[in-house]
Amino acid sequence: MGALCGLIAAGAALGAAEVLGALIRPQATPLIAVGQAVIDLTPQGLREFAISAVGEADRPLLVAGTAVLLALFAAGIGAEALRRPWIGDAGMAVLAAIATAAALTRPEQDPLYALPSLAGGAVAVVLLRLLVRTAPPRGRADAAAPADEDGGREPGAAGGTGGGEAAPAHGTAADTAAAPGTPPPPQGSGFDRRRFVLLAGSAAVASAGAGAGGRWWATAQAGVERRREAVRLPRPDSPAPPLPDGADLDVAGLSPFFTPNGDFYRVDTALSVPRIDATRWRLRIHGRGAREREYTYADLLRRSDLIERDVTLACVSNPVGGSYIGNARWIGVPMAALLREAGVRPPGEGGPADQLVSRSSDGMTIGTPVAALMDGRDAMLALGMNGQPLPTDHGFPARVVVPGLYGYVSACKWVVEMELTTFDDFDAYWIPRGWAQRAPIKTQSRIDTPRPGSTVGAGTVPIAGVAWAQHVGVEAVEVRIDDGPWQPARLAEEDTADTWRQWVLDWAARPGEHRISVRATDRSGATQTAEEARPAPDGATGYHTVEVTVT
Protein backbone atom coordinates (compact mmCIF):
# COMPACT_ATOMS: atom_id res chain seq x y z
CA MET A 1 0.00 0.00 0.00
CA GLY A 2 2.85 2.37 0.82
CA ALA A 3 4.54 1.62 -2.49
CA LEU A 4 1.31 2.47 -4.27
CA CYS A 5 1.15 5.78 -2.39
CA GLY A 6 4.72 6.59 -3.51
CA LEU A 7 3.97 5.76 -7.13
CA ILE A 8 0.84 7.92 -7.18
CA ALA A 9 2.68 10.84 -5.57
CA ALA A 10 5.54 10.58 -8.08
CA GLY A 11 3.06 10.41 -10.96
CA ALA A 12 1.38 13.57 -9.71
CA ALA A 13 4.77 15.26 -9.51
CA LEU A 14 5.53 14.39 -13.13
CA GLY A 15 2.08 15.55 -14.25
CA ALA A 16 2.52 18.93 -12.57
CA ALA A 17 6.03 19.25 -13.97
CA GLU A 18 4.83 18.49 -17.49
CA VAL A 19 2.28 21.30 -17.31
CA LEU A 20 4.87 23.82 -16.15
CA GLY A 21 7.42 22.49 -18.61
CA ALA A 22 5.00 23.04 -21.48
CA LEU A 23 4.67 26.68 -20.43
CA ILE A 24 8.43 27.17 -19.92
CA ARG A 25 10.35 24.64 -22.03
CA PRO A 26 9.88 20.85 -22.36
CA GLN A 27 13.62 20.37 -21.73
CA ALA A 28 13.07 21.57 -18.16
CA THR A 29 10.79 18.70 -17.12
CA PRO A 30 12.35 16.15 -14.72
CA LEU A 31 12.37 13.13 -17.05
CA ILE A 32 13.92 15.09 -19.91
CA ALA A 33 16.41 17.00 -17.75
CA VAL A 34 17.62 13.87 -15.94
CA GLY A 35 17.70 11.90 -19.19
CA GLN A 36 19.83 14.58 -20.86
CA ALA A 37 22.19 14.57 -17.87
CA VAL A 38 22.51 10.79 -18.20
CA ILE A 39 23.40 11.20 -21.89
CA ASP A 40 26.06 13.78 -21.04
CA LEU A 41 27.59 11.56 -18.33
CA THR A 42 27.43 8.27 -20.26
CA PRO A 43 30.91 6.95 -21.16
CA GLN A 44 31.71 7.00 -24.85
CA GLY A 45 31.95 3.22 -25.19
CA LEU A 46 28.54 2.67 -23.61
CA ARG A 47 27.00 5.35 -25.83
CA GLU A 48 28.40 3.68 -28.95
CA PHE A 49 27.09 0.31 -27.78
CA ALA A 50 23.61 1.75 -27.22
CA ILE A 51 23.52 3.33 -30.68
CA SER A 52 24.71 0.15 -32.38
CA ALA A 53 22.37 -2.08 -30.36
CA VAL A 54 19.08 -0.17 -30.48
CA GLY A 55 19.67 2.62 -33.01
CA GLU A 56 17.20 5.49 -32.90
CA ALA A 57 15.24 3.72 -30.14
CA ASP A 58 17.93 4.79 -27.67
CA ARG A 59 16.08 7.99 -26.71
CA PRO A 60 12.67 6.48 -25.85
CA LEU A 61 14.41 3.61 -24.08
CA LEU A 62 16.42 6.08 -22.00
CA VAL A 63 13.28 7.98 -21.01
CA ALA A 64 11.53 4.70 -20.17
CA GLY A 65 14.51 3.54 -18.10
CA THR A 66 14.59 6.83 -16.21
CA ALA A 67 10.86 6.49 -15.50
CA VAL A 68 11.33 2.92 -14.22
CA LEU A 69 14.12 4.00 -11.85
CA LEU A 70 11.96 6.86 -10.60
CA ALA A 71 9.08 4.44 -10.02
CA LEU A 72 11.32 2.08 -8.01
CA PHE A 73 12.64 4.89 -5.83
CA ALA A 74 9.16 6.36 -5.35
CA ALA A 75 7.73 2.97 -4.38
CA GLY A 76 10.47 2.47 -1.79
CA ILE A 77 9.99 5.97 -0.40
CA GLY A 78 6.25 5.41 -0.10
CA ALA A 79 6.67 2.08 1.68
CA GLU A 80 8.92 3.65 4.30
CA ALA A 81 6.67 6.70 4.63
CA LEU A 82 3.89 4.54 6.13
CA ARG A 83 6.02 4.00 9.21
CA ARG A 84 8.04 7.21 9.21
CA PRO A 85 6.37 10.02 7.26
CA TRP A 86 9.48 12.21 7.39
CA ILE A 87 11.23 9.70 5.13
CA GLY A 88 8.56 10.37 2.52
CA ASP A 89 9.15 14.10 2.76
CA ALA A 90 12.93 13.71 2.57
CA GLY A 91 12.86 11.14 -0.23
CA MET A 92 10.62 13.17 -2.51
CA ALA A 93 12.68 16.28 -1.76
CA VAL A 94 15.86 14.45 -2.79
CA LEU A 95 14.31 13.33 -6.08
CA ALA A 96 13.16 16.90 -6.75
CA ALA A 97 16.63 18.22 -5.94
CA ILE A 98 18.26 15.79 -8.40
CA ALA A 99 15.86 16.82 -11.17
CA THR A 100 16.35 20.52 -10.38
CA ALA A 101 20.13 20.18 -10.50
CA ALA A 102 19.90 18.36 -13.83
CA ALA A 103 17.68 21.09 -15.30
CA LEU A 104 19.88 23.93 -14.06
CA THR A 105 23.05 22.41 -15.50
CA ARG A 106 21.70 22.21 -19.07
CA PRO A 107 23.69 24.46 -21.45
CA GLU A 108 20.58 26.38 -22.48
CA GLN A 109 19.12 26.72 -18.97
CA ASP A 110 17.81 29.78 -17.19
CA PRO A 111 16.50 30.07 -13.58
CA LEU A 112 12.96 29.24 -14.68
CA TYR A 113 14.15 25.71 -15.52
CA ALA A 114 14.04 24.94 -11.78
CA LEU A 115 10.28 25.53 -11.50
CA PRO A 116 8.91 22.26 -12.98
CA SER A 117 11.01 20.06 -10.68
CA LEU A 118 10.43 22.21 -7.60
CA ALA A 119 6.68 22.35 -8.19
CA GLY A 120 6.57 18.63 -8.85
CA GLY A 121 8.48 17.95 -5.65
CA ALA A 122 6.05 20.05 -3.61
CA VAL A 123 3.07 18.21 -5.13
CA ALA A 124 4.71 14.84 -4.35
CA VAL A 125 5.38 15.72 -0.69
CA VAL A 126 1.86 17.02 -0.03
CA LEU A 127 0.06 14.21 -1.84
CA LEU A 128 2.19 11.49 -0.25
CA ARG A 129 1.35 12.91 3.20
CA LEU A 130 -2.36 12.81 2.40
CA LEU A 131 -2.23 9.29 1.01
CA VAL A 132 -0.21 7.95 3.93
CA ARG A 133 -2.71 9.41 6.41
CA THR A 134 -5.54 7.74 4.55
CA ALA A 135 -3.83 4.37 4.03
CA PRO A 136 -3.81 1.66 6.77
CA PRO A 137 -0.81 1.98 9.10
CA ARG A 138 2.06 -0.35 8.28
CA GLY A 139 1.60 -3.69 10.03
CA ARG A 140 -2.12 -3.11 10.69
CA ALA A 141 -3.56 -3.78 7.27
CA ASP A 142 -4.94 -7.11 8.57
CA ALA A 143 -6.91 -5.23 11.21
CA ALA A 144 -8.85 -3.23 8.66
CA ALA A 145 -12.36 -4.44 7.97
CA PRO A 146 -14.13 -3.77 4.70
CA ALA A 147 -16.67 -0.98 4.62
CA ASP A 148 -20.28 -1.88 3.94
CA GLU A 149 -22.20 -0.43 1.03
CA ASP A 150 -23.00 2.70 3.04
CA GLY A 151 -19.38 3.34 3.93
CA GLY A 152 -19.90 2.24 7.59
CA ARG A 153 -18.02 -0.45 9.43
CA GLU A 154 -19.22 -3.99 9.95
CA PRO A 155 -20.20 -4.69 13.54
CA GLY A 156 -17.27 -5.84 15.56
CA ALA A 157 -14.74 -4.32 13.21
CA ALA A 158 -12.06 -1.91 14.31
CA GLY A 159 -13.54 1.55 14.78
CA GLY A 160 -17.04 -0.04 15.08
CA THR A 161 -19.10 -0.52 18.24
CA GLY A 162 -16.23 0.27 20.56
CA GLY A 163 -13.42 -1.60 22.22
CA GLY A 164 -13.42 -4.17 19.44
CA GLU A 165 -16.26 -6.17 21.11
CA ALA A 166 -18.73 -7.80 18.79
CA ALA A 167 -22.42 -6.86 18.91
CA PRO A 168 -24.26 -9.99 20.01
CA ALA A 169 -27.21 -9.45 17.71
CA HIS A 170 -25.10 -9.54 14.58
CA GLY A 171 -21.78 -11.15 15.51
CA THR A 172 -20.59 -14.57 14.47
CA ALA A 173 -18.36 -17.04 16.22
CA ALA A 174 -15.42 -15.63 14.32
CA ASP A 175 -16.36 -12.11 15.49
CA THR A 176 -16.66 -12.96 19.15
CA ALA A 177 -13.95 -15.56 19.64
CA ALA A 178 -10.85 -13.43 19.69
CA ALA A 179 -7.62 -15.24 20.41
CA PRO A 180 -6.65 -15.14 24.10
CA GLY A 181 -4.22 -12.35 24.87
CA THR A 182 -4.91 -10.48 21.60
CA PRO A 183 -5.43 -6.79 22.36
CA PRO A 184 -8.28 -5.07 20.56
CA PRO A 185 -7.27 -2.69 17.76
CA PRO A 186 -7.09 0.92 18.92
CA GLN A 187 -9.87 3.38 18.31
CA GLY A 188 -9.64 5.20 14.99
CA SER A 189 -7.21 2.70 13.40
CA GLY A 190 -9.67 1.53 10.77
CA PHE A 191 -9.02 1.81 7.05
CA ASP A 192 -11.56 3.81 5.06
CA ARG A 193 -11.06 2.09 1.72
CA ARG A 194 -13.58 4.27 -0.08
CA ARG A 195 -11.79 7.46 0.95
CA PHE A 196 -8.39 6.07 -0.02
CA VAL A 197 -9.59 4.86 -3.43
CA LEU A 198 -11.28 8.19 -4.11
CA LEU A 199 -8.16 10.19 -3.21
CA ALA A 200 -5.70 7.89 -4.97
CA GLY A 201 -7.87 7.45 -8.04
CA SER A 202 -8.52 11.17 -8.40
CA ALA A 203 -4.81 11.91 -8.07
CA ALA A 204 -3.89 9.27 -10.65
CA VAL A 205 -6.45 10.47 -13.18
CA ALA A 206 -5.52 14.11 -12.68
CA SER A 207 -1.82 13.29 -13.01
CA ALA A 208 -2.32 11.33 -16.21
CA GLY A 209 -4.46 14.08 -17.67
CA ALA A 210 -1.99 16.81 -16.71
CA GLY A 211 0.97 14.84 -18.04
CA ALA A 212 -0.71 14.02 -21.34
CA GLY A 213 -1.99 17.55 -21.73
CA GLY A 214 1.39 19.08 -20.97
CA ARG A 215 3.16 16.76 -23.39
CA TRP A 216 0.57 17.45 -26.11
CA TRP A 217 0.92 21.20 -25.65
CA ALA A 218 4.72 20.93 -25.73
CA THR A 219 4.63 19.07 -29.05
CA ALA A 220 1.97 21.22 -30.72
CA GLN A 221 2.18 24.49 -28.85
CA ALA A 222 0.84 27.63 -30.46
CA GLY A 223 0.37 25.99 -33.83
CA VAL A 224 4.13 25.78 -34.51
CA GLU A 225 3.76 22.69 -36.66
CA ARG A 226 0.90 24.22 -38.64
CA ARG A 227 2.99 27.30 -39.34
CA ARG A 228 5.88 25.10 -40.47
CA GLU A 229 3.63 23.26 -42.88
CA ALA A 230 2.33 26.59 -44.22
CA VAL A 231 5.82 27.74 -45.26
CA ARG A 232 6.28 27.96 -49.03
CA LEU A 233 9.91 27.70 -50.03
CA PRO A 234 10.89 30.14 -52.78
CA ARG A 235 12.41 28.94 -56.02
CA PRO A 236 16.17 28.91 -55.48
CA ASP A 237 18.29 31.31 -57.49
CA SER A 238 20.67 28.43 -58.22
CA PRO A 239 18.60 25.22 -58.60
CA ALA A 240 20.14 21.76 -58.57
CA PRO A 241 20.69 20.29 -62.04
CA PRO A 242 18.34 17.48 -63.08
CA LEU A 243 19.29 14.05 -61.79
CA PRO A 244 21.29 12.23 -64.52
CA ASP A 245 19.63 9.28 -66.22
CA GLY A 246 20.90 6.11 -64.62
CA ALA A 247 21.75 7.70 -61.26
CA ASP A 248 19.02 5.68 -59.55
CA LEU A 249 19.33 1.96 -60.36
CA ASP A 250 16.15 -0.08 -60.41
CA VAL A 251 17.23 -2.92 -58.11
CA ALA A 252 14.92 -4.45 -55.49
CA GLY A 253 16.24 -3.92 -51.97
CA LEU A 254 18.59 -1.07 -52.95
CA SER A 255 18.33 2.21 -51.05
CA PRO A 256 16.61 4.91 -53.17
CA PHE A 257 18.90 7.65 -54.42
CA PHE A 258 17.02 10.29 -52.38
CA THR A 259 16.20 9.23 -48.84
CA PRO A 260 12.59 10.15 -47.93
CA ASN A 261 12.38 12.63 -45.08
CA GLY A 262 10.55 10.15 -42.87
CA ASP A 263 13.31 7.54 -43.35
CA PHE A 264 16.27 9.90 -42.97
CA TYR A 265 18.44 8.92 -40.03
CA ARG A 266 18.39 11.00 -36.87
CA VAL A 267 21.23 10.90 -34.34
CA ASP A 268 21.34 13.64 -31.71
CA THR A 269 21.08 14.09 -27.95
CA ALA A 270 17.67 15.82 -27.90
CA LEU A 271 15.18 13.81 -25.82
CA SER A 272 12.59 16.51 -26.47
CA VAL A 273 12.73 17.80 -30.04
CA PRO A 274 12.84 21.62 -30.08
CA ARG A 275 9.72 23.08 -31.69
CA ILE A 276 10.55 26.57 -32.78
CA ASP A 277 8.18 29.25 -33.97
CA ALA A 278 9.87 30.51 -37.14
CA THR A 279 8.21 33.93 -36.78
CA ARG A 280 10.17 34.46 -33.54
CA TRP A 281 13.38 32.68 -34.54
CA ARG A 282 16.61 34.66 -34.89
CA LEU A 283 20.09 33.69 -36.03
CA ARG A 284 22.94 35.66 -34.47
CA ILE A 285 26.43 35.69 -36.02
CA HIS A 286 29.26 37.22 -33.99
CA GLY A 287 32.75 36.60 -32.64
CA ARG A 288 36.36 37.06 -33.69
CA GLY A 289 36.77 39.03 -36.88
CA ALA A 290 33.00 39.34 -37.36
CA ARG A 291 30.60 42.25 -37.35
CA GLU A 292 27.60 41.11 -35.40
CA ARG A 293 24.63 40.29 -37.65
CA GLU A 294 21.15 38.96 -36.97
CA TYR A 295 18.76 37.31 -39.40
CA THR A 296 15.10 36.37 -39.22
CA TYR A 297 13.54 33.43 -41.02
CA ALA A 298 11.79 35.85 -43.39
CA ASP A 299 15.15 37.52 -44.12
CA LEU A 300 16.57 34.20 -45.29
CA LEU A 301 13.56 33.25 -47.40
CA ARG A 302 13.72 36.60 -49.21
CA ARG A 303 17.37 36.29 -50.20
CA SER A 304 18.29 36.22 -53.86
CA ASP A 305 21.22 33.82 -53.43
CA LEU A 306 19.36 30.67 -52.31
CA ILE A 307 20.92 27.48 -53.64
CA GLU A 308 19.60 23.95 -54.12
CA ARG A 309 22.08 21.08 -53.88
CA ASP A 310 22.13 17.30 -53.49
CA VAL A 311 24.25 16.35 -50.47
CA THR A 312 24.76 13.09 -48.60
CA LEU A 313 25.04 13.37 -44.82
CA ALA A 314 26.72 10.78 -42.61
CA CYS A 315 27.02 10.35 -38.85
CA VAL A 316 30.41 9.55 -37.34
CA SER A 317 28.66 6.93 -35.17
CA ASN A 318 27.76 4.95 -38.29
CA PRO A 319 29.34 1.48 -38.08
CA VAL A 320 30.63 -0.20 -41.23
CA GLY A 321 27.52 -1.09 -43.24
CA GLY A 322 25.31 1.01 -40.95
CA SER A 323 22.21 3.05 -41.73
CA TYR A 324 23.23 6.43 -40.29
CA ILE A 325 23.67 7.97 -43.71
CA GLY A 326 21.18 9.54 -46.10
CA ASN A 327 20.98 11.61 -49.25
CA ALA A 328 18.67 14.58 -49.79
CA ARG A 329 18.11 17.65 -51.94
CA TRP A 330 18.63 20.73 -49.75
CA ILE A 331 17.67 24.39 -50.23
CA GLY A 332 19.48 27.06 -48.26
CA VAL A 333 21.72 30.10 -48.02
CA PRO A 334 25.44 29.67 -48.82
CA MET A 335 27.38 29.77 -45.56
CA ALA A 336 30.24 31.62 -47.22
CA ALA A 337 27.89 34.45 -48.19
CA LEU A 338 26.54 34.82 -44.63
CA LEU A 339 30.04 34.88 -43.19
CA ARG A 340 31.32 37.36 -45.78
CA GLU A 341 28.42 39.67 -44.96
CA ALA A 342 29.63 39.63 -41.35
CA GLY A 343 33.13 40.57 -42.47
CA VAL A 344 34.58 37.11 -41.82
CA ARG A 345 37.75 36.10 -43.65
CA PRO A 346 39.00 32.49 -43.72
CA PRO A 347 42.33 31.73 -42.01
CA GLY A 348 44.03 31.54 -45.41
CA GLU A 349 43.16 35.21 -45.95
CA GLY A 350 44.35 36.29 -42.52
CA GLY A 351 41.11 35.80 -40.60
CA PRO A 352 41.60 35.45 -36.82
CA ALA A 353 39.05 32.63 -36.38
CA ASP A 354 39.53 29.06 -37.55
CA GLN A 355 36.39 27.58 -35.95
CA LEU A 356 32.71 28.44 -36.29
CA VAL A 357 30.75 27.25 -33.24
CA SER A 358 27.08 26.71 -34.07
CA ARG A 359 24.69 26.61 -31.10
CA SER A 360 21.37 24.82 -31.16
CA SER A 361 18.30 26.03 -29.31
CA ASP A 362 18.76 23.06 -26.96
CA GLY A 363 22.33 24.09 -26.09
CA MET A 364 24.23 21.68 -28.32
CA THR A 365 27.48 23.13 -29.72
CA ILE A 366 29.12 21.96 -32.95
CA GLY A 367 32.47 23.29 -34.16
CA THR A 368 33.21 23.52 -37.90
CA PRO A 369 36.46 24.61 -39.58
CA VAL A 370 35.94 28.08 -41.07
CA ALA A 371 38.08 27.05 -44.03
CA ALA A 372 35.62 24.25 -44.92
CA LEU A 373 32.74 26.74 -44.89
CA MET A 374 34.46 29.19 -47.25
CA ASP A 375 36.54 27.03 -49.61
CA GLY A 376 33.94 26.89 -52.40
CA ARG A 377 32.06 23.75 -51.42
CA ASP A 378 28.26 23.97 -51.17
CA ALA A 379 28.12 24.50 -47.40
CA MET A 380 24.76 26.05 -46.55
CA LEU A 381 22.35 27.10 -43.87
CA ALA A 382 19.59 24.76 -45.02
CA LEU A 383 15.92 25.77 -44.92
CA GLY A 384 14.40 22.98 -47.02
CA MET A 385 14.80 19.23 -47.46
CA ASN A 386 13.53 17.27 -50.46
CA GLY A 387 11.26 20.13 -51.54
CA GLN A 388 9.70 20.75 -48.12
CA PRO A 389 10.51 23.04 -45.18
CA LEU A 390 12.92 21.23 -42.87
CA PRO A 391 11.07 18.63 -40.79
CA THR A 392 11.02 19.44 -37.08
CA ASP A 393 13.14 16.37 -36.29
CA HIS A 394 15.77 17.54 -38.76
CA GLY A 395 16.27 21.08 -37.57
CA PHE A 396 13.40 23.40 -38.52
CA PRO A 397 13.64 26.29 -39.10
CA ALA A 398 17.35 26.09 -40.08
CA ARG A 399 20.31 23.74 -39.86
CA VAL A 400 23.85 23.61 -41.18
CA VAL A 401 24.83 21.27 -44.04
CA VAL A 402 28.50 20.91 -45.00
CA PRO A 403 29.49 18.38 -47.69
CA GLY A 404 32.40 16.17 -46.76
CA LEU A 405 32.29 16.48 -42.96
CA TYR A 406 30.69 14.14 -40.44
CA GLY A 407 27.59 15.62 -38.82
CA TYR A 408 29.07 16.09 -35.35
CA VAL A 409 31.42 18.77 -36.72
CA SER A 410 29.06 20.33 -39.23
CA ALA A 411 25.35 19.53 -39.17
CA CYS A 412 23.99 21.65 -36.30
CA LYS A 413 20.18 21.46 -36.15
CA TRP A 414 17.80 24.07 -34.67
CA VAL A 415 20.68 26.53 -34.94
CA VAL A 416 20.19 29.93 -33.27
CA GLU A 417 23.74 31.27 -32.94
CA MET A 418 27.10 31.15 -34.74
CA GLU A 419 30.25 32.33 -33.02
CA LEU A 420 33.64 32.81 -34.67
CA THR A 421 36.42 31.51 -32.43
CA THR A 422 39.42 29.14 -32.52
CA PHE A 423 39.89 25.46 -31.85
CA ASP A 424 42.44 26.35 -29.17
CA ASP A 425 39.95 28.53 -27.29
CA PHE A 426 36.80 26.42 -27.39
CA ASP A 427 35.91 22.73 -27.46
CA ALA A 428 32.46 21.97 -28.87
CA TYR A 429 30.23 19.38 -27.18
CA TRP A 430 31.74 16.19 -28.61
CA ILE A 431 35.43 17.06 -28.36
CA PRO A 432 35.89 16.56 -24.57
CA ARG A 433 34.05 13.28 -25.02
CA GLY A 434 36.86 11.82 -27.10
CA TRP A 435 35.95 12.70 -30.70
CA ALA A 436 38.34 14.37 -33.15
CA GLN A 437 38.22 18.13 -33.77
CA ARG A 438 38.23 17.74 -37.54
CA ALA A 439 36.47 14.83 -39.19
CA PRO A 440 36.32 14.50 -42.98
CA ILE A 441 34.02 11.69 -44.06
CA LYS A 442 35.92 8.51 -44.91
CA THR A 443 35.40 6.63 -48.16
CA GLN A 444 33.00 3.78 -47.47
CA SER A 445 30.64 1.32 -49.16
CA ARG A 446 27.67 -0.77 -48.09
CA ILE A 447 25.83 -3.84 -49.32
CA ASP A 448 22.05 -3.29 -49.29
CA THR A 449 21.02 -6.53 -50.99
CA PRO A 450 21.15 -9.43 -50.32
CA ARG A 451 20.62 -8.87 -46.62
CA PRO A 452 22.91 -10.46 -44.02
CA GLY A 453 21.75 -13.97 -43.16
CA SER A 454 19.29 -14.12 -46.04
CA THR A 455 18.65 -17.11 -48.33
CA VAL A 456 18.62 -16.69 -52.12
CA GLY A 457 18.08 -19.05 -55.00
CA ALA A 458 20.90 -20.26 -57.21
CA GLY A 459 21.43 -18.44 -60.48
CA THR A 460 21.92 -14.76 -61.24
CA VAL A 461 21.62 -12.74 -58.02
CA PRO A 462 22.10 -8.95 -58.00
CA ILE A 463 24.44 -7.70 -55.31
CA ALA A 464 23.82 -3.97 -54.89
CA GLY A 465 24.47 -1.10 -52.53
CA VAL A 466 25.81 2.41 -52.17
CA ALA A 467 29.28 3.93 -51.85
CA TRP A 468 30.30 7.43 -50.77
CA ALA A 469 33.35 9.68 -50.74
CA GLN A 470 31.81 13.12 -50.18
CA HIS A 471 33.48 16.09 -51.78
CA VAL A 472 35.89 13.72 -53.55
CA GLY A 473 33.69 11.34 -55.53
CA VAL A 474 33.53 7.57 -55.99
CA GLU A 475 35.72 6.19 -58.79
CA ALA A 476 35.15 2.43 -58.47
CA VAL A 477 33.46 -0.27 -56.39
CA GLU A 478 34.61 -3.88 -56.17
CA VAL A 479 32.95 -6.98 -54.77
CA ARG A 480 34.56 -10.20 -53.53
CA ILE A 481 32.82 -13.55 -53.06
CA ASP A 482 34.38 -15.67 -50.31
CA ASP A 483 38.17 -15.55 -50.86
CA GLY A 484 37.96 -15.03 -54.60
CA PRO A 485 39.27 -12.09 -56.63
CA TRP A 486 37.84 -8.59 -56.44
CA GLN A 487 35.32 -8.03 -59.23
CA PRO A 488 34.38 -4.56 -60.54
CA ALA A 489 30.76 -3.56 -59.93
CA ARG A 490 28.74 -1.46 -62.33
CA LEU A 491 28.39 2.07 -61.05
CA ALA A 492 25.29 4.20 -61.42
CA GLU A 493 25.73 7.60 -63.04
CA GLU A 494 27.18 10.16 -60.67
CA ASP A 495 25.00 13.07 -59.55
CA THR A 496 27.75 15.07 -57.81
CA ALA A 497 30.88 14.32 -55.82
CA ASP A 498 28.90 15.26 -52.70
CA THR A 499 26.38 12.42 -53.03
CA TRP A 500 26.56 8.69 -52.64
CA ARG A 501 26.66 6.47 -55.70
CA GLN A 502 24.73 3.28 -56.29
CA TRP A 503 26.38 0.14 -57.65
CA VAL A 504 25.39 -3.40 -58.68
CA LEU A 505 27.10 -6.70 -59.56
CA ASP A 506 25.26 -9.62 -61.17
CA TRP A 507 26.49 -12.70 -59.30
CA ALA A 508 26.28 -16.24 -60.65
CA ALA A 509 25.35 -17.75 -57.29
CA ARG A 510 26.03 -21.43 -56.56
CA PRO A 511 24.47 -23.43 -53.71
CA GLY A 512 26.19 -23.19 -50.35
CA GLU A 513 27.21 -20.68 -47.67
CA HIS A 514 28.93 -17.59 -49.04
CA ARG A 515 30.57 -14.44 -47.72
CA ILE A 516 30.28 -11.20 -49.75
CA SER A 517 32.53 -8.16 -49.19
CA VAL A 518 32.68 -4.74 -50.83
CA ARG A 519 35.20 -1.90 -51.07
CA ALA A 520 35.30 1.49 -52.81
CA THR A 521 37.99 3.65 -54.35
CA ASP A 522 37.63 7.42 -54.47
CA ARG A 523 38.73 9.92 -57.12
CA SER A 524 41.99 10.60 -55.32
CA GLY A 525 42.95 6.96 -55.94
CA ALA A 526 42.57 5.93 -52.27
CA THR A 527 40.87 2.58 -51.65
CA GLN A 528 39.10 2.14 -48.35
CA THR A 529 41.14 0.16 -45.86
CA ALA A 530 40.38 -3.37 -44.71
CA GLU A 531 41.57 -2.47 -41.21
CA GLU A 532 38.62 -2.54 -38.86
CA ALA A 533 38.18 0.45 -36.54
CA ARG A 534 35.32 1.56 -34.34
CA PRO A 535 33.55 4.86 -35.02
CA ALA A 536 35.45 6.84 -32.35
CA PRO A 537 37.32 9.09 -32.67
CA ASP A 538 36.85 9.99 -36.37
CA GLY A 539 34.79 7.34 -38.17
CA ALA A 540 34.66 3.55 -38.63
CA THR A 541 36.72 1.67 -41.20
CA GLY A 542 36.72 -1.83 -42.67
CA TYR A 543 34.95 -3.80 -45.41
CA HIS A 544 31.23 -4.36 -45.15
CA THR A 545 30.72 -8.12 -45.29
CA VAL A 546 27.51 -10.17 -45.34
CA GLU A 547 26.94 -13.92 -45.20
CA VAL A 548 24.18 -15.52 -47.27
CA THR A 549 22.88 -18.98 -48.09
CA VAL A 550 22.27 -20.04 -51.69
CA THR A 551 19.85 -22.91 -52.27
Set out the domains of the chain in order of their start, with CATH numbers.
2-135+193-223 (no CATH), 266-433 (3.90.420.10), 444-550 (2.60.40.650)
Of residues 366 and 194, more confidently modeled = 366
Q: How far apart are CA 290 and CA 164, in angstroms?
A: 85
Of residues 132 and 257, more confidently modeled = 257
Q: How far apart are CA 111 and CA 313, in angstroms?
A: 36
Of residues 150 and 93, more confidently modeled = 93
Segment among 5-9, 18-22, 151-155, 308-312 with least mean pLDDT: 151-155
Q: Which of 112-126, 215-229, 266-280, 359-373 has the highest mean pLDDT?
A: 359-373
Q: How far apart are CA 334 and CA 238, in angstroms?
A: 11
Q: How far apart are CA 281 and CA 262, in angstroms?
A: 24
The pLDDT of residue 56 is 66
Residue type, 217: W
Q: How far apart are CA 268 and CA 36, in angstroms?
A: 11
Of residues 56 and 354, more confidently modeled = 354
pLDDT band at 151 (very low <50, low <70, confident <90, very high): very low
The pLDDT of residue 537 is 93
* pLDDT higher than 70, residue 294: yes
Q: Are strands 325-334 and 380-385 parallel, antiparallel or unpaired?
A: antiparallel
What tens digit of pLDDT does each residue of 392-434 get? 999 999 999 999 999 999 999 999 999 999 999 999 999 998 8
* pLDDT higher than 90, residue 9: no
The pLDDT of residue 212 is 65
- Burial tier of 424 (Cβ tally within 10 Å: 0-12, 13-18, 19+): exposed
**Residues near 466 by Cβ (< 8 Å), separated by ≥ 6?**
254, 255, 325, 445, 446, 448, 500, 501, 502, 503
